[in-house]
Amino acid sequence: MMLSIIIIEYHCMDDVLRCIESVEEHLGSLEHESIVLSNSCYKQDQINTYEGRMEGAARLVAAQGNLGYAGGVNAALKETRGEYVYILNPDCLLTDAGVVSIIEQMESDPKWVISGPKVIDDNGSVQPSCRRFPRPWTFILVRSFFSRLPMAHSEQVRYLMTSYDHDVTGPVDWVSGGAMLVKVSLLKKLGGMDERYFLYMEDVDWCHTAWSLGLKVMYCPQSVVVHSGQHKSIQGGVFSLFSKHVRMHVKSMAKYFIKFGLSAPKHE
């Protein structure tokens, strides 16, 4: 069983190299390949330098322009040979080989297409990497200064699943694309990520589509990933609604609701 690791890079090669080191440390005995899809448009001499620093631990694929996250993932998928694909953000670090256990579980269920591991920050705090599908007002009540309002609390608990036991495996609406395991045999049915999202919401869309097709998305704490970066659109404050990343997130959310409407697929 081969595992393909995909890392989408945009001017953060130092993060990528640390991520690859963690892959080799914990998955070195597993048949695997690592593919770094770069959206950075480096010059050839820079590419040569980075390839040398990877020392054969990963293959660097240079995109012809910035494809965005979904476009980068789809381009990288064409380069993979594994039966499973593990998509990792550049600033993620593996801490174990628990992905092997997750794969074994996925193999036993023909409808199980996507898994997400437990994600923690540098201090060991569990991050909300599994969530419920958003509502049109979710972003305002969770990601802006309006999150301080008393009425916002119930939506934060619902959306971020703060009451969920993150030590228990179970079906969830969606898992973060920053650390996502995908069964390749079901990709023909699921399809690639929707490239109309340049950045943000492509993971929510993918999981929404999976459930709509009768496939399963599961949260699996058997593996723990450290995510040291902070989502750019999470930063609060009075001016957060006017930042570039928040504008991009809002734009992607608009595309999501235009595509799916207000309905959310049911699951067990």
Instruction: Provide, rounded to the nearest whole percent, the portion of the chain with pLDDT above 90.
Output: 84
Average pLDDT of the chain to the nearest whole number: 93
Strand runs (DSSP E) across the chain, as ranges?
3-9, 32-38, 59-62, 84-88, 92-94, 112-120, 130-131, 170-171, 174-175, 179-183, 216-227
Q: Which tens digit of pLDDT belongs to each residue from 151-207?
A: 899 999 999 999 999 999 999 999 999 999 999 999 999 999 999 999 999 999 999
Instruction: Please tell me whether the overall predicted TM-score, pTM, comes out greater than 0.85 for this model.
Output: yes
pLDDT value at residue 143:
79
pLDDT value at residue 34:
98
The CATH number of domain 3-133+163-231 is 3.90.550.10: yes
In whole angstroms, how far apart are CA 238 and each of 67, 121, 149, 155? 31, 25, 13, 20
pLDDT value at residue 145:
79
pLDDT value at residue 236:
47
pLDDT value at residue 240:
52
pLDDT value at residue 132:
98
d(CA 261, CA 179): 26
- Exposure class string for 58-84: b at 16+ Cβ within 10 A, else e: bebbbbeeebbbbbbbbbbbeebebbb
pLDDT, average across residues 252-266 = 94
Backbone phi and psi for residue 136, each to the nearest 5 degrees, phi listed first: -55, -30
pLDDT value at residue 267:
82
Q: Which tens digit of pLDDT belongs to each residue from 69-120?
A: 999 999 999 999 999 999 999 999 999 999 999 999 999 999 999 999 999 9
pLDDT value at residue 242:
59
pLDDT value at residue 180:
98
pLDDT value at residue 228:
84
* Range from 86-95, 176-185, 216-225, 259-268 carrying the lowest mean pLDDT: 259-268
In whole angstroms, how far apart are CA 121 and each of 58, 170, 181? 25, 21, 19
Residue 238 has pLDDT above 80, yes or no: no
The residue ranges of every structural domain in the chain are 3-133+163-231
